[in-house]
Amino acid sequence: MGLSLEVKGLSHRYGSRVALEDASFSLLPGSVLGLLGPNGAGKTTLVKLLLGLCPKSAGLIRVGDDDLDSLSARQRAKLIAYVPQSSALAFPFKVREVVLMGRFAHIKFGRVPGRADVAAMEGALEEMRIGHLADRRFQELSGGERQLTLMARALAQNAMILLLDEPTANLDFANQGAVLNMVKKIAKIGRSVLMTTHFPNHAFVAADQTALIKSGRILACGPTEDVLTGQSLSAIYGTKIAVVSAQIPGYGLEVKLCAPIPEEG
């Protein structure tokens, strides 16, 4: 059974500077919410607040029926998993070992991983279709393979809510597609996904809902195709952007795409 994530009136300040102001949105079980905005808009601050890494100035974060503030770090880790843009592991861990790290919240201090932990690790490798990489060293993987490994680690954590921080950053075109397909697959098996991204086209591909954030405020949140318009994207990014529909020959699919409009002259 999935879990919902509800954010109401969330605010945060760094000294006198407002980093996030009165943010509100809901993430439903089995859905993907894309969070878009320019650099410095407040995306990273919002993710840190959801992870409990910095104190909020005001507002409420609720996971299912639980207020996030009432939970310990271990309890939070059983509900919310985090996938960073990249991970520079210092030791030559194998992929299976990296994925097994997702089980730390479930293993009592001083104990070794048990059968349930190994089963969760193997299941996550299978879900991400990277079982063939299990004995490879993490440092030897391509960027796309590393990202899929980090997503498998989050699945092994067995948290029902996943926070993905720009999961396609620094990936080539093929690996971007592979990661976005896995994001959609994760939602289909009942997990809730919040995905930050700089690419509106990725939200069109993978996000059911999209929130637009600028200067620490969420300006719009709703169904992706309703929120991502040329007008709203132009306002967020401060440049003229067009959104168009296109037919994919041979597949019978219609997709929406966005692109900046070149300046004349």
108: domain CATH number is: 3.40.50.300
Whether 234 and 207 map to the same domain: the answer is: no
| Burial of residue 78, with CB atoms counted within 10 A of its CB: 0-12 exposed, 13-18 middle, 19 or more buried | middle
Whether 73 and 157 map to the same domain: the answer is: yes
Say how many domains are in the chain: 2
For the segment 71-93, what is each residue's pLDDT rounded down to a tens digit?
998 899 999 999 988 776 767 89
Q: Which pLDDT belongs to residue 90?
A: 66
Whether 177 and 257 map to the same domain: the answer is: no
Residue 100: pLDDT above 80? yes
For the segment 184-226, what is each residue's pLDDT rounded down to a tens digit?
999 998 999 999 999 999 999 999 999 999 999 999 999 999 9
Whether 173 and 238 map to the same domain: the answer is: no
Whether 240 and 168 map to the same domain: the answer is: no
Instruction: Give the confidence band of 109 by pLDDT, cuts at 50, 70, 90.
Output: confident
Whether 57 and 184 map to the same domain: the answer is: yes
Whether 248 and 166 map to the same domain: the answer is: no
Whether 250 and 141 map to the same domain: the answer is: no
Candidates 23, 25, 8, 1; CA nearest to 210 is 25
Whether 120 and 251 map to the same domain: the answer is: no
Which residues are bridge partners to 195 per DSSP?
34, 164
CA distance linking residue 193 with residue 207, whole number of Å? 9
**Residues in the chain, total:** 265
Whether 107 and 146 map to the same domain: the answer is: yes
Candidates 220, 233, 228; CA nearest to 261 is 233
CA distance linking residue 25 with residue 8, whole number of Å? 7
Whether 212 and 243 map to the same domain: the answer is: no
Domain that holds residue 247: 229-265
Whether 183 and 233 map to the same domain: the answer is: no
Task: Compute the C-alpha angle 45/9/157, nearest 5°.
Answer: 50
Q: Which residue has the higher pLDDT, 1 or 53?
A: 53
Q: Which pLDDT belongs to residue 135?
A: 96
Candidates 147, 117, 119, 121; CA nearest to 134 is 121
Q: Which pLDDT belongs to residue 253?
A: 84
